[in-house]
């Protein structure tokens, strides 16, 4: 406050500027508080948007929440004719497709990230990174249409019969192949989240200090041992973060999944050949024709649940990352 | 005429010029020849250049053609139509954010009760027919599998699961039906197409009516859901042994195989503009408010899976100018606009319904007089 006083005099000003230089004191100009006000508003806008979103979703889905309560989560039918709504198959489908897609994409994505970060020749790395980024830039509807028009028919005629012939004793590959179904959705989601895993994974791995690798190499470790004991432990929190981002993407993916999953709740079974439903595809399919009342409210409650699942995933991710980073020195 | 000019002077300069141009044009048009039934028969144009509508995706190709043509003639009124789906169209209409709604199914009493602007008028604007498409390599394209209503219901209920089921074989003794599983394909999104199809199944099969019912979204017992007409068409085309239901236009354009369906008189008919029109023309018991289905109507030429699509308007128009423009548009749509229907595989309205539509349009009130001055 003293510095800001309007006292004049060249000596005083000189002292002021020297003090500022020496101690890098914050200047209290009116512009500063204006700027702070603006960024505060920007920060508050996030709160308002998220808060408003939750408020609108919950208030508009109140009719179904109050009518069905917990039954909405376990009821199988989504039936506007008989005014009976439930999303059990959709929750099942959302969770199963997303987690399996992540499980399939994780080894492939991290493997590719390790190759790119550690072993890839520079020029090839440029090309591969460009390709991975291009894959990430494909709009999901394009992937969905490819899945729907090309991949699903192939799956029906070749992919699923082959799986049935060779792995048919597993409960996952039973029933008649439709092409469209959980398996197709899992594969499409895997393709979608792979570039996220590779791209983020590579960046995380590259932040691991060179010295850690060199220390192990100096001890005569193999490539695998260096990765296993020096690189991966240091990068695990970042990799977990990448996996969670990918899972978030998979949970919320709408149009591509809607196109290939078959959109029909099948009787509960472990088979991946069966058709399924997801929460986002309920919204994509039904929102346009949902008439005001319980029907619209049910669609919005599906949106609410999706928000809740994403929120829970984020919280779990935070917990996981704090657990993983415990005891690791900050780099 | 003077009132119109007076209003115009209160507007900005450019609008005055436009209005003068329109006014002159309409005077010229009126002087040139006697207007036909569908033309703008009133000399003045309402001071409205844009109307908005929302609803049925089924109507969209026809509406889009109609509205392009409509902007070229008469008062050059542009129509901004959003094909958001019948349900969303009804919602927007009830919230009064659009001038008219469009729906492939009539509004229910419950929906009508939500109106905050008085009575709602249903105005049939076109007719659609739905084909039963399938994918069977062993059936030549020139031949068509025969279905009856109850049989279709049993297939969609999951009771008949193979193409060589005795019931199917008995109906189709000349065809070589394979021992192949039937993959039932239906719409995954709510749609008027589904509303008409399920209405038909519910009409011909008691089991369907009790277990599933009719509506734009139903709880399908079996099958695979494809999004949109194109989703169902693609799923049928790429899946051997599939069966689906599609708007006639899709089936014809995509050269898909499609079946014959037995009508109420026991005759097997193919879907076409003629058979659908026959079904519509033979409709009995048309209610005064024009909220009705025309599935399974009598007549030997009738194709039974047929349905109307409606424009929805409020009887009491708040803005007289908009109301007049809207009434003019609807009048044109049910008369001259119908000539664009056949090329796009829509069925033109039968005369009896056009007359009913005229009466509905004349019911529209703008203040203390009717909106339509024809």
Do both B120 and B136 map to the same domain? no
Q: What is the ipTM of this complex?
A: 0.76
- With the CA atoms of B219, B223, B228 and B229 taken in that order, what torsion angle do they form, in degrees rounded to the nearest 10? -120
Q: How far apart are CA B103 and CA B58, in angstroms?
A: 9
Q: Residue A329: left if φ>0, alpha if ψ -120 to 50, beta else—which one?
A: beta
Task: For residue B251, tell me if it sits in a domain.
Answer: yes
Among the partner-chain residues A80, A178, A275, the one whose CB lies closest to the CB of B215 is A80
B256, B273, B306 - which closes a domain: B306
Residue A176 in tokens: 């008649």
Do both B238 and B190 map to the same domain? yes
Do both B321 and B299 map to the same domain? no
Count CA within 13 A, CB hemisphere, residue B14.
Answer: 0
Evaluate whether A125 touches A116 at the Cβ level (below 8 Å).
yes
Tokens 């005891």 sit on residue: A327
Do both B160 and B232 map to the same domain? yes
A134, pLDDT greater than 80: yes
B214 at the A interface (CB within 8 A)?
Answer: yes
- Taking CB atoms and an 8 Å cutoff, what residues of chain A touch B101? none
Do both B204 and B323 map to the same domain? no
B285, B306, B327 - which closes a domain: B306
B244 at the A interface (CB within 8 A)?
Answer: no
The pTM score is 0.79
pLDDT in tens, chain B (374 residues): 444 544 544 555 666 566 666 666 665 555 544 433 344 444 578 888 899 999 888 888 899 999 999 999 888 899 999 988 788 888 899 999 999 999 988 888 888 998 999 999 999 999 989 999 999 999 998 899 999 999 999 999 999 999 999 999 999 999 989 998 899 999 998 888 898 999 999 999 999 999 999 988 899 999 999 888 888 988 898 888 999 999 888 888 888 999 999 999 999 999 999 999 999 988 888 898 999 999 999 999 999 999 999 999 999 998 889 999 999 999 999 999 999 999 988 999 999 899 999 999 999 998 888 889 87
Alpha helix positions (H), B10-146: 13-32, 60-72, 86-94, 109-112
Count of structural domains within chain B: 2
Do both B114 and B214 map to the same domain? no
Inter-chain CB proximity B239 and A153 less than 8 Å: yes
Neighbours of B286 (CB within 10 A): 14
Residue A83 in tokens: 């005014």
* Separation in Å, CA of A180 to nearest CA in chain B: 7
User: What is the tens place of the pLDDT at every residue in A227-265?
Assistant: 888 888 888 888 888 898 899 889 988 889 999 898 888
Hey, of A82, A86, A144, A289, which one would you mutate to test binding to chain B, going by the most B CBs within 10 A of its CB?
Answer: A289
* Separation in Å, CA of B223 to nearest CA in chain A: 7
Task: For residue B27, tell me if it sits in a domain.
Answer: no
Task: For residue B245, tell me if it sits in a domain.
Answer: yes
Evaluate whether B79 touches B70 at the Cβ level (below 8 Å).
yes
Do both B119 and B141 map to the same domain? no
A249 at the B interface (CB within 8 A)?
Answer: no
The conformation of residue B162, written as its DSSP 8-state character, comes to B
Task: For residue B327, tell me if it sits in a domain.
Answer: yes
Residues β-bridged to residue B78? B50
Give just the sign of the alpha carbon dihedral B58, B60, B65, B70.
positive
Domain boundaries, chain A: 16-66, 69-324
Q: How far apart are CA B216 and CA B58, in angstroms?
A: 13
Inter-chain CB proximity B86 and A289 less than 8 Å: yes
Task: For residue B40, tell me if it sits in a domain.
Answer: no
B110 at the A interface (CB within 8 A)?
Answer: yes
* Separation in Å, CA of B13 to nearest CA in chain A: 41
Do both B283 and B347 map to the same domain? no
Helix, strand, or coil here: B112? helix
Cβ-based contacts under 8 A for chains A and B: 106
Inter-chain CB proximity B91 and A259 less than 8 Å: no
Task: For residue B231, tell me if it sits in a domain.
Answer: yes
pLDDT, averaged across chain A: 85
Domain that holds residue B171: 129-306
Residue of B nearest to A78 (CA): B219
B230 at the A interface (CB within 8 A)?
Answer: no
> DSSP string of A170-194?
SGGG-S---SSSHHHHHHHHHHHHH
Buried b (16+ CB within 10 A) or exposed e, B145-176: bbbbbbbbbbbbbeebeebebeebeebbeebe
* Separation in Å, CA of B3 to nearest CA in chain A: 41
A289 at the B interface (CB within 8 A)?
Answer: yes
- Taking CB atoms and an 8 Å cutoff, what residues of chain B touch A254? none
Task: For residue B194, tell me if it sits in a domain.
Answer: yes
Do both B138 and B177 map to the same domain? yes
Do both B160 and B116 map to the same domain? no
Q: Which of B235, B194, B234, B229 is nearest to B213 (CA)?
A: B194
Do both B266 and B178 map to the same domain? yes
Q: How far apart are CA B233 and CA B258, in angstroms?
A: 11
CATH number at residue B180: 3.40.190.10
Task: For residue B211, tell me if it sits in a domain.
Answer: yes
Among the partner-chain residues A81, A263, A284, the one whose CB lies closest to the CB of B218 is A81
Fold of A69-324: MetI-like fold (1.10.3720)
B290, B306, B322 - which closes a domain: B306
Helix, strand, or coil here: B135? coil
Evaluate whether B126 touches B65 at the Cβ level (below 8 Å).
no
Evaluate whether B136 touches B241 at the Cβ level (below 8 Å).
yes
Among the partner-chain residues A84, A181, A286, the one whose CB lies closest to the CB of B189 is A286
Do both B302 and B155 map to the same domain? yes
**What is the distance between the terminal CA atoms of chain A, rounded to a whole angstrom?**
38
Greatest extent of chain B over all pairs of C-alpha atoms, in Å: 77
């Amino acid at each position: 406050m003293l510095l800001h006083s309007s006292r004049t005099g060249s000596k005083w000003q000189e002292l002021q500027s020297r003090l500022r230089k020496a101690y890098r004191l914050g200047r209290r100009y009116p512009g500063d508080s204006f700027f702070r006000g603006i960024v505060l508003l920007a920060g508050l806008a996030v709160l308002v948007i998220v808060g408003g979103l939750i408020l609108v979703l919950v208030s508009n889905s109140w009719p179904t929440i109050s009518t069905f309560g917990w039954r909405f989560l376990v009821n199988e039918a989504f039936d506007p004719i008989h005014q009976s709504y439930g999303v059990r198959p959709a929750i099942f489908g959302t969770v199963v497709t997303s987690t399996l897609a992540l499980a399939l994409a994780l080894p492939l994505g991290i493997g590719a990230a390790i190759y790119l970060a550690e072993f890839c020749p520079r020029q090839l790395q440029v090309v591969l990174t460009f390709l991975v980024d291009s894959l990430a830039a494909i709009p999901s509807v394009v992937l969905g249409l490819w899945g729907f028009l090309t991949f699903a028919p192939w799956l029906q005629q070749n992919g699923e019969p082959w799986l049935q012939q060779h792995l048919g004793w597993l409960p996952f590959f039973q029933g008649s192949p439709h092409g469209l179904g959980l398996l197709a959705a899992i594969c499409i989601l895997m393709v979608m989240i792979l570039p996220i895993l590779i791209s983020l994974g590579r960046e995380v791995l590259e932040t691991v200090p060179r010295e850690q690798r060199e220390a192990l190499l100096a001890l005569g470790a193999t490539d695998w041992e260096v990765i296993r004991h020096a690189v991966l432990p240091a990068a695990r929190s970042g990799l977990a973060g990448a996996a969670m981002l990918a899972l978030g993407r998979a949970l919320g993916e709408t149009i591509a999944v809607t196109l290939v999953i078959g959109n029909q709740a099948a009787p509960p079974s472990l088979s991946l050949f069966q058709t399924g439903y997801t929460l986002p595809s309920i919204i994509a399919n039904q929102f346009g024709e949902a008439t005001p009342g319980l029907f619209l409210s049910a669609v919005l409650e599906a949106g609410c649940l999706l928000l809740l699942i994403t929120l829970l995933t984020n919280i779990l991710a935070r917990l996981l990352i704090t657990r993983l980073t415990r005891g690791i020195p900050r780099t | 005429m003077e009132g119109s000019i007076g209003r115009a002077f209160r507007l900005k300069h450019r609008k005055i010029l436009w209005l003068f141009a329109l006014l002159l044009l309409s005077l010229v048009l009126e002087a040139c020849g006697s207007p036909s039934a569908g033309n703008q028969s009133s000399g003045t144009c309402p001071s409205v250049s844009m109307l908005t509508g929302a609803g049925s995706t089924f109507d969209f190709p026809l509406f889009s053609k109609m509205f392009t043509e409509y902007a070229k003639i008469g008062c050059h009124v542009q129509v901004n139509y959003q094909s958001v789906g019948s349900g969303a169209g009804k919602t927007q209409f009830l919230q009064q954010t659009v001038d008219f709604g469009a729906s492939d199914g009539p509004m229910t009493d419950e929906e009508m009760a939500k109106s905050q602007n008085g009575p709602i008028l249903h105005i049939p604007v076109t007719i659609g027919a739905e084909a039963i498409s399938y994918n069977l390599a062993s059936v030549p394209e020139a031949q068509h599998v025969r279905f009856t209503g109850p049989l279709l219901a049993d297939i969609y209920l999951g009771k008949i699961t193979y193409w060589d089921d005795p019931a199917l074989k008995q109906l189709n003794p000349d065809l070589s039906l394979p021992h192949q599983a039937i993959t039932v394909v239906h719409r995954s999104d709510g749609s008027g197409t589904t509303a008409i199809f399920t209405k038909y199944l519910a009409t011909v099969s008691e089991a369907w009516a009790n277990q599933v019912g009719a509506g734009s979204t139903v709880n399908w017992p079996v099958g695979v859901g494809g999004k949109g007409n194109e989703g169902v068409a693609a799923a049928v085309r790429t899946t051997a042994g599939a069966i689906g239901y599609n708007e006639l236009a899709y089936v014809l354009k995509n050269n898909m195989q499609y079946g014959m369906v037995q009508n109420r008189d026991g005759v097997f008919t193919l879907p076409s503009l003629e058979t659908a029109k026959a079904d519509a023309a033979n409709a009995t018991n048309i209610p005064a408010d024009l909220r009705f289905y025309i599935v399974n109507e009598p007549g030997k030429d009738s194709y039974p899976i047929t349905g109307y699509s409606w424009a929805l308007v409020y009887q009491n128009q708040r803005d007289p100018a908009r109301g007049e423009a809207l009434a003019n548009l609807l009048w044109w749509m049910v008369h001259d606009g119908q000539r664009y229907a056949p090329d796009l595989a829509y069925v033109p309205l039968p005369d009896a319904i056009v007359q009913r539509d005229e009466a509905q349009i004349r019911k529209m009130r703008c203040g203390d007089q009717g909106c339509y001055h024809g």
